[in-house]
Amino acid sequence: MRVLVIEDDAELAGAIAAGLRLEGMAVDAAFDGDSGLERALVNDYDVIVLDRDLPGVHGDTVCAKLAGGQRRAGILMLTASGTIEDRVDGLGRGADDYLPKPFAFAELVARIRALARRSHPAVPPLLHAKGITLDPARRVAARNGRNLSLRPKELAVLELLISAGGRVVSAEELLERAWDEMADPFSTAVKVTISRLRRKLGDPPVIETVGRAGYRV
């Protein structure tokens, strides 16, 4: 899952991003409305966490522009004001959910996962393929009853491959969806992660390499 956090409080944005990465998400951060809107329009995000009171382009304007476009990302709006009027106003501008500050991090994670499920309605809560069971919410996986000790990126890649339902997923797509904007497009991160994942999954082999195209389960 790839998330964009648009929050002008750099310390809070950093804390949110760090926490979400520990939850296995790929996270980009922007600290004003202008850069946040630019990232949101250029990249393909599952969820956008949007502070309402932003410098530059106001959060309301960012929300309205994204809601009026062809985005598929869910928008979770944050604000220091928790009045009913503010919530109704934010939702009326196109936000999919609304969370007043201060908030519990566990609730933020739960709401992000819920919005991601809405943008991928066909994806079941538990993923199954070739004896593998993966629980995206709990970040755990097993094969034939054997628990797999997977790193966050390995889990993310496996989730993307199983969710594809047999479709070939390119290395570029894996890099975009499981890493963040700081990832080097010329790195061997995908190849190395696939190699480790294959070893941990064991035999018979599950992940197939499709020449010049990518990988599939």
Residue 172 vs residue 92, higher pLDDT: 172
On the question of pLDDT at 75 being above 70, the answer is: yes
| CATH 3.40.50.300 at 2-119, yes or no | no
Contact assessment for residue 172 and residue 178, using Cβ atoms and an 8 Å cutoff: no
pLDDT at residue number 13: 95
Question: What tokens does 107 get?
Answer: 């609730």
209 falls in which pLDDT band (50, 70, 90)?
A: very high
**Which position has the higher pLDDT, 90 or 111?**
111
Quick one: three-class SS letters along 148-187?
A: ECCCHHHHHHHHHHHHCCCCCECHHHHHHHHCCCCCCCCC
Domains of the chain, residue spans: 2-119, 127-216
pLDDT of residue 9: 94
CATH of domain 127-216: 1.10.10.10
pLDDT score recorded for residue 91: 67
Return the pLDDT at 192. Answer: 94
pLDDT in tens, 80-103: 766 666 666 656 668 889 888 889
CA-closest candidate to residue 139, choices 151, 124, 131:
151
pLDDT, tens only, 1-30: 899 999 999 999 999 999 999 888 889 999
